[in-house]
Structures are given as C-alpha cells and as structure tokens.
Amino acid sequence: MSTDPAELDAGRALAQSLQLEPLALEGGRFRRTFTGGGISAILYMLIGSDFSAMHRLGSDEVYFHHQGAPLRLLLIEPTGAAHEVVLGPDVAAGQLPQLHVPGGWWQGSSSAGAWTLVSTVVAPEFSWDDIVLGDRQELTALAPGAAERIGQLTRDEPPR
C-alpha cells in the first residue's frame, strides 16, 4: 500500500468531492446513490490503511471498480472455503472489474494502494438490520487457512 502523502491527499479530496461519509463499524467512506425497485447502490472508498471489516449480508452484492488502486477482497463461503479476489482494471493480471458476492458469504477488503473507489449494488435492497460484523475468533475457526488475512480485516474496536 502506498503511503505517499500526495496520493493520500488526492484520495481524501476525491472522497470530499463525492460527499462520502465515514461508514461506522465497517470502515471506509460511503454515500448511498440509489434506492428503488428492490435494489440499493453506494459509492464506497477506502483510503490509506482503512479497510472494510469482515461482514456478511443476507442479500447479494455486486462490486464495480472505478478508480484508484485495486481492491483486495477476502470472501468466505458459509462452508468455510476462503477466496482472495482482486477487483481492478487489469484483467490481464487476473483482476476483475466486477464481482458478485452471494448473500450469506463473509467479506472484507482493503486497498492495494493509497486509495480505491468502487460502487456496490445490493439486491434485495440493503438494510442496516441485515449487516453482521465478523468476529475474529469465529471466522478463524471457520476458515483457519485465512487466519492472517482475517486478522487484518477485523477490528478490536469500531472505527471513529
């Protein structure tokens, strides 16, 4: 991850121009851009060392990479099978420009650089009652092969 102050400042400026707000508990910054017809959409951004804490939704979620560094995602199926996926523009390098995360799967992510801007669409529409944050010990027991990454994507305390 880049810690170049100019790149971090550029990410912060973009987040401000997009009117992104801190996302309590999960981390990152977001703004809901659409709700209707049973779906919802957000812009979502990670800057610097911030990360999206491991969580799951009951609904399906589709990610779209827009700008910045690739997004490194850890996905854990209900069976415990873990997958690391990179969302980004370089398809030749194995990155995906779009990704579907089935409802009920655990997910967490971090930027591979100074900042990453994505959007997600959730169907059925996102509800705050639907999000469950992951517990480090429980997730490590479910997917022991991903213990190191789970440790990186869980919090001892919620972000401020």
Residue range 69-116, pLDDT digits in tens: 999 999 999 999 999 999 999 999 999 999 999 999 999 999 999 999
Could you identify the residue written with the tokens 């009117």? 19
Give every CB contact of residue 77 below 8 A, 6+ residues apart in sequence: 83, 105
Secondary structure of residue 95 in the 3-state scheme:
coil
Q: Considering its fold, how many domains does the chain have in total? A: 1
% of the chain with per-residue pLDDT over 90: 92
Residue-level pLDDT at 25: 86
Q: Is residue 159 part of a domain?
A: no
Mean pLDDT of 108-125: 97
What is this structure's pTM? 0.94
Torsion of CA 153, 15, 34, 68, to 10 degrees: -70
- What does the alpha-carbon distance between residue 152 and residue 109 come to, in Å, rounded to a whole number? 9
Residue 160: predicted pLDDT: 53
CATH code of 141's domain: 2.60.120.10
Has residue 133 been placed in a domain? yes
The answer to whether the beta carbons of residues 71 and 87 sit under 8 Å apart is yes
Mean of the pLDDT values across residues 37-64? 97
Domain that holds residue 29: 5-153
Q: What percent of the chain has pLDDT over 70?
A: 97
160 occurs within a structural domain: no
Q: Residue 1: is its pLDDT beyond 80?
A: no
